[in-house]
Structures are given as structure tokens and as C-alpha cells.
Structure 1
Amino acid sequence: MREPVKIVRVRNVMRCSCGEAIRPGERAGLVGGRGRPRCVQCLADLQAGRKSPISRSTRTRGARPWTAMIVAFVLVGAVGAVNVRSSILGGAEATSLSKGSDRDIRAHWPPVPPDASANPLGAPPAQASSSTEFSFIKTVGDGADTHPVAWDPCRPIHLVINDARAPEQGDPLLQEAIAQVTEATGLQFVVDGPTTEAPATDRPPRDTARYGDRWSPVLVAWTDPSAVPHLKGSVAGVAGPDGAPFYTAEQRHWVSGSVNLDGPQLSLILQRPAGWETARAIVMHEFGHLVGLQHVPQPSQLMYASSTNRTDFGRGDREGLRQLGDGHCFTG
């Protein structure tokens, strides 16, 4: 891209010349400071010398057969910024059981692991904000009794790492992002070690052949678009939780999941000014999805679906994470 690009925020719904919808408040670019605004995907294509497709319908919001969220990070070259777009590809679902008694649910769950406790392993911080700028992937209950589907706080969340395409700073980047989520939720994470397991859209929450009689640990995969097609183009991460089978709504909780990160794209981001903070925010956003947060319409929050300069959780994010850390124990 040889001409300078002026970044603006659009005021009305419009479409880029490639067919991509640009919504109010989202960023777009004026090439040469004039003409019709172009979406950030088109700007990335121009920067890379790629021809933009006529339609980008595969990048717009909509249901797809994936149990997670995606976040697309676009490098806008000439303006020296990293912009974010995100679309929801579907919510994580668990098996709803209809035959048998709800008292028999543990026949469908693996044994309680030895590192489980009768009490929460950590505690979320005290409520410090009345912000409502957060949203959950799933909730149960009605009215004042509504609460999010969450992880069991009496068990650590186990992770395995596939570092096939990890950037050089991948390990400390993960450690910092996970530490931020632990601080905000009280949930404890344990890295079991490396794995050769490849990411898959139909990854089961329980894989006894690979991991024994327990819930599958969360797969954190440093990967690329050749292994995860949803990472093609500007998408830098795909993440989300998987739930346990249940009879009743109160038995719903997250037990496994996946975090797939585009290692080559994040390597490029790490080389840019303030790249560390930007890359860490990407991983924090993805782990926000893993523990149960949905996107929000407020640009002041890290879980906003498009880019801002935010590199830390906002007040709404933190209140949502606090509530997710206050889930039910399932160790009795």
C-alpha cells in the first residue's frame, strides 16, 4: 500500500467495496484520505498485495459448526496499527440428557479427580464495579436468579500445549495472559505439559484413549490456517469452552475447551511497537471466551468485538469474570 491511509470511524451502516459490512463505530480506512471507506480486511489485503474478493460473507457474523468464538486481528501496515474484528461462530453446547434420573448424572461424568477440593481453590476479587458491560456465553435461571454457566472453581483447569507454531515468546505470553484471568476470576490453571494433539472442530470433552478417564484438558494450540481453516485471512484466534452432559440446568458447567492461536500472525504482531501488550490482549480476549465471556457492544471493554486501544480487561470485563469465578462446585 503506497498511499497513506486515514483511519476513521463510520457513523452509519455501510458496505466496503468488497462487500464486507461496516457497522457504526467500527474503524475503516480512507486510502489517500479520500473516496469510499474500506474495511480493515481490505486494507490488510492491499498491504499484503492480495486481491480482495468480491464478497467476504464468510467473515461476517453467523452460526458456523464450531463450538467457539473467533477473533480476527488485522495488520493495517501503513498506519502502523493493529485493528481487531471478531465474529461469533456459535456457542459451546453440551449434551442434554432426557432419559434417566438427574441423580444419575455422575454416571455420565468421569470420576472426581484427585486434585479437586470441597471448596473453591481460589476466590474472585470483591465486587469493585457495578458495570453491566459484560455478557456470558450461556446463562441459566430466570430474572434475579440468572447466573452464568461457569467452570467448577473447586478444580483446576488443566491445559496442554501444542507449540508447533509458537512464537519465540509464546510461553511467557501465555503465562501473563493466564495470570490476568486467574486474578480476575480466582480460577486456577495447571499446565500439564506439551501435546501433539492437533486442533479439531469436533474435539470431544472426554477422550479416554488420549487422556484417561477424566475431562480432556483444554488444548492450547499454537497453529496456523493450514491446520485451522478458520484462521485464514485476518483471524488470529479461535477459542471457547465445552460443557458436561446434564439433566438439569443447574448441572451445566464448562469442563474442557480449546484455544487456537495463529502463531505466525502473532509473531508479526510481537515485532510491532507495543506488540507485547497487543499480543497479550489477544490471548487474554481468547481466554475470556474460554472461561465463559461473550462479546459486548461497548468499545471500552476488552471483550468488544472490534479493535480499540484497550490492552487490559475493562470494568465490565472484570465484573463478568468475577461472576464466572463464583460458580458451583461439582465435587460432592
Structure 2
Amino acid sequence: SIVVDLTGQIPATASAAVLNIAATETAGPGYLTVWADGVVRPDPAANLNYPAANYTVANSVITGVNAGRVRIYSLAGADVVVDVVGYMTGNKAPDTSEGLYVPLVPQRLWDSRPDEAPCRTSNIGPEQTASLAVAGRLQVPSTGVSAVTMNLTMTNTLRSGFLEAFPSATTRPDPYSSVNAVRSGQTVGNHAVVALDAGGIDLFSSHGTDFVADVTGYFLDRTGTPPTASFEPTTQPVVVCSVPVPPADEDYEYLQAAGQNGDLAPYSRNGRRYFGWRPCDSITYAVNTGRANQIQIDAMNTAIRQVENASGFDFVLLGNVNGSLNTNTIDANVPGVGQAMAVIAFSDVSATPALTGNTIGIGGLGSGSGDTVVQDGSLAWIVRGGFAIADIDDVTDPGDITATFAHELGHMLGLAHVNAVGELMRPVLSNQSDFGDGDRNGLYSIGEPQCSSSETLGSRTSASLGTDPPASFSVTGWVADERIDH
């Protein structure tokens, strides 16, 4: 065994250390045991196992420390790499909720393999990096989170190499590894504790691999508050990636998007041209749920899931907004995160004058959002300004809320009204709360087929356009409202 002094990286008063331990150049099959220095080695106990000589494998270890020191025992002999991820405070630390760990039921955040969620993802190439939004997704709050815990798996590895998880928008730590593979075609996992920056993490692959990320919990920062019995109300629905081709049904129509350069609009039907959102990109959105209760918020999330499953678009929650809901001045700036591409909100007539009379919802593209379309090659796409709003005074039943938001999100993606019975895009409120076959054909035509395997999510993102896109056009905002059928 050897003693490793961590006091240059963690306080001497820490009660435990969070480490990533790697064994490499092993002498034969064996294991490593890590424990606090100064006490008897726990036996039997193994923190990491290696099956053969000349093997490399890593594992996450949370271990007690003694005056900042740990001891590492090897059964068969190995070189050892110790990376310090974090530490647990000691009993003399001040009382605070900062650093509190909140465990979650494990949920899949990302799977890069074909036909897995999110849609249209791909593996990480050699010496490439992928960015994953974490805050505001699944049951991780959009704010108040300093780090997440996850199970991180490499699979379908191109050759031996490593995967490295680190905070987004920061310099990649080098040398460092989270998961190690020793051959091509391998599947190997490791637990990882990763700090967040800008609400996300980056994954770097040395030699190329598919990857799977399952979130298991998170740590609070100094602004976070411990959760109550229920999780944050605006959790991110999980998208079902493979959108089946709907049964043939022509009962759908596109909204007319007026403006310049209409000949660059990618969609055309019955004499109408529609610009549309780029189907290979996620649609980031903010929510305003200040007027709603938990049941109503859950109904809104159900509608978002329905739209994802019918269209193949991946909706990514950035956080909450409290600004104006006038359709000409919608505030999509999420504090500490940035600009969302769309806003989904509960409102009323005072905040959204367009909801006067019998109008129970409104959705589309804001006319006051400035340049909302950019050219991407020979096509032009919407990149921001979307909204879907329900009148909280006129629609309160959960089924009606789901139907209203799904309908308005259909408008936001580009569907117009139809008169056919059995379609949710019919401009009356009925007992129907999910899309009909015509609706599904319209959403499918806007989303799924236009994203080829060579244009995967992340290869063309709105962020990559920078502040000076190749070309931008002013577009007259289009909206559609719904009236209660009396």
C-alpha cells in the first residue's frame, strides 16, 4: 500500500474525498482498495478491479480521509493515477445547504447510439468534444446546482482511449480521464461527479466512442434550496427519438410566414411557404408558470412530450422567466443562462392582450423579435421568437390545458388550423387531448425527414452561428389564436 496526501487539493479538515482512481500497467489480475490513512485496511473490500496484466481501468471512489491523507492497497501490483474531484466538509464546517447532495431515481440524459434519445445524436469522434445541457433537464433544477452525479458509459469504442467529463465553457483538464477503454468495440462505465458551468458539461473523447449518460443526483450551490417532497415543477420531458411514419392523412396545413426571401423557406404546401425550425437542432425554451399550480404544470409538460414524440424535435428547458408576455415583447432572457428560442407560458388578458374575448391560447412567432430567420446554405430557418401561451383564467382543466398547449406548440412549429374532425389543430376545444393522424403527418413533415445522418444534433446549432450569421431576414410574425366553441 501507499499513502497519498491530498492536503494540497482538499482541506485538512475534510471528512471525505471524492476521487477518480485509475489502475494502469497492472502486473496481473487484482484490485485496489482505498481508505483513510491511519486505520486498519477494510478486508475484504475493493474499489476497483482489473482482470489481467497490462490493463487500464478507472473507478469513482468516495472515501474517508485522515488529516487529508488516504491509503491505496494493490493486490497484484499496478501504477495508480489519483484525480481529485471534490471533498465532503468536516463536522466543524458551518451549517449550510450549500453542497447538499440530492439523490435522484436514475434517469437517462443522453444516449448517442442510433435511434436513442435525444434524437439524431452521434458518437464523439477522436479528439472531439460534445456538450450536454444538464440544468433544467429531467429532475435537475435549472438553477441552484453546482454539480451532478451520473453513470457515464463508453460503448462501441473505436479503439482504446478515454472519455473525459468536465464543466462546459471551461478549459479541458489535462491529463484527466473519467472512463477508460482498452480496446475497440468495448462497453465500460464509471460513476462521475461533474461540476456544471453554464448549466452543462462537456465530454471529450481521445479516440472516438458512443456514450451514455444517466443522471443519479446533484449538489446544491449557495443559491440552491433543498427540494420539498416534489421535484422542481418544470422538469424536462424525455423525448422518444424514433418517430414512426404516421398513417396517411392529408388533414394538415402550414402557416403562411410572410417576409423577405420566402423562396428560401424549406417547406411548401398548397401554395404556402413556411420557414420552419432547423430539425437537426434542439429548441431551447423558457417557461413562465407563475400563475399555475403543479397539476396544470404537469399538463403543460405532457403537451411538450406529445409534440416531441410527434415531431422528433428535442425541446430543452433553459429555465424560468417572469417578464412580459405580450407577443410583441416576450422576454426570453433566462437569468444566468441566456436567450431561449421560445417561451411556453401560462398568462392572462392583462399580460397578454391577445387573449381577449373567447381566445384561450395563442401560439406562433413573435412579430417583435427582430431578425428571426437565418440562412443556412440554400435554406432559411427560424432561430428564435417562438411562443405558446394558454389563458390560465379560461382553461384550467388538466386535459384542456394539455390540448391547448399541444395545439399552440403545433402553431409554433408551423401548423395552421384545419377543419377536419379528429385533428387537434381544429380551432375548437373538444374532448380530444392528443394529436390526430393529420396533425402527426404535419409535425412529422416539419421535423423528422429533413435531418439526415450527416447532419446530427450538435453539428449545426444556433450557437454556432455566432453574433454575425451569414445572412438574416426580417420576418413578419405569424400567430394563430383559439376560440372556445360555445
Question: Which band: TM-score by shorter chain?
Answer: 0.5 to 0.7
* Structure 2: distance between partners of 1:142 and 1:174: 30
Aligned to 2:408: 286
Evaluate the alpha carbon distance shift between residue 299 and residue 143 of structure 1 in structure 2; reply closer, same or farther with a 3 A threshold. closer
Asked if the contact 2:278–2:381 (Cα under 8 Å) also holds between the matched residues in 1, the reply is no
Residue 287 of structure 1 aligns with an amino acid whose one-letter code is L
Aligned to 2:395: 266
Which protein shows a greater Rg?
Answer: 2
* Structure 1: distance between partners of 2:294 and 2:333: 30
State the aligned residue count. Answer: 207
Aligned to 1:186: 312
Cα offset for 1:249? Answer: 6.7
TM-score, normalised to structure 1, is: 0.53
* Gaps in structure 2 of 5+ consecutive residues: 1-129, 134-238, 257-264, 367-371, 465-486
Aligned to 1:165: 291
Asked if the contact 1:167–1:266 (Cα under 8 Å) also holds between the matched residues in 2, the reply is no
Q: Secondary structure at the match of 1:282?
A: helix
Asked if the contact 1:122–1:188 (Cα under 8 Å) also holds between the matched residues in 2, the reply is no
1:196 aligned onto 2:325: no
* Structure 1: distance between partners of 2:404 and 2:330: 25
Evaluate the alpha carbon distance shift between residue 302 and residue 125 of structure 1 in structure 2; reply closer, same or farther with a 3 A threshold. same
1:251 aligned onto 2:411: no
* Structure 1: distance between partners of 2:292 and 2:327: 20
Matches within 5 A, 1:94-109: none
Evaluate the alpha carbon distance shift between residue 149 and residue 115 of structure 1 in structure 2; reply closer, same or farther with a 3 A threshold. farther
Q: Which moved more, 1:310-319 or 1:196-205?
A: 196-205
The structure with the largest strand share of the pair is 2
1:299 aligned onto 2:428: no
The structure with the largest helix share of the pair is 1
* Structure 2: distance between partners of 1:232 and 1:252: 31
Asked if the contact 2:346–2:390 (Cα under 8 Å) also holds between the matched residues in 1, the reply is yes
* Gaps in structure 1 of 5+ consecutive residues: 1-112, 271-275
Evaluate the alpha carbon distance shift between residue 204 and residue 211 of structure 1 in structure 2; reply closer, same or farther with a 3 A threshold. farther
Asked if the contact 1:296–1:304 (Cα under 8 Å) also holds between the matched residues in 2, the reply is yes
* Structure 1: distance between partners of 2:381 and 2:331: 14
* Greater RCO structure (CA 8 Å; 6+ sep): 1
Asked if the contact 2:423–2:436 (Cα under 8 Å) also holds between the matched residues in 1, the reply is yes
Cα offset for 1:147? Answer: 7.8
Cα offset for 1:262? Answer: 1.2
Residue 285 of structure 1 aligns with an amino acid whose one-letter code is H
Aligned to 1:99: none
Cα offset for 1:217? Answer: 3.1
Aligned to 1:318: 440
Cα offset for 1:281? Answer: 1.0
Evaluate the alpha carbon distance shift between residue 248 and residue 166 of structure 1 in structure 2; reply closer, same or farther with a 3 A threshold. same
Q: How much is the aligned-residue C-alpha RMSD, in angstroms?
A: 3.5
CA deviation map 1:52-111 (0-9, x unaligned) = xxxxxxxxxxxxxxxxxxxxxxxxxxxxxxxxxxxxxxxxxxxxxxxxxxxxxxxxxxxx
Cα offset for 1:158? Answer: 1.3
* Structure 2: distance between partners of 1:123 and 1:144: 29
| Residue 236 (structure 1) aligned to one of 351, 360, 373 | 360
Identity %: 25
Evaluate the alpha carbon distance shift between residue 145 and residue 266 of structure 1 in structure 2; reply closer, same or farther with a 3 A threshold. closer
Cα offset for 1:126? Answer: 3.0
Cα offset for 1:265? Answer: 2.1
* Structure 2: distance between partners of 1:305 and 1:157: 25
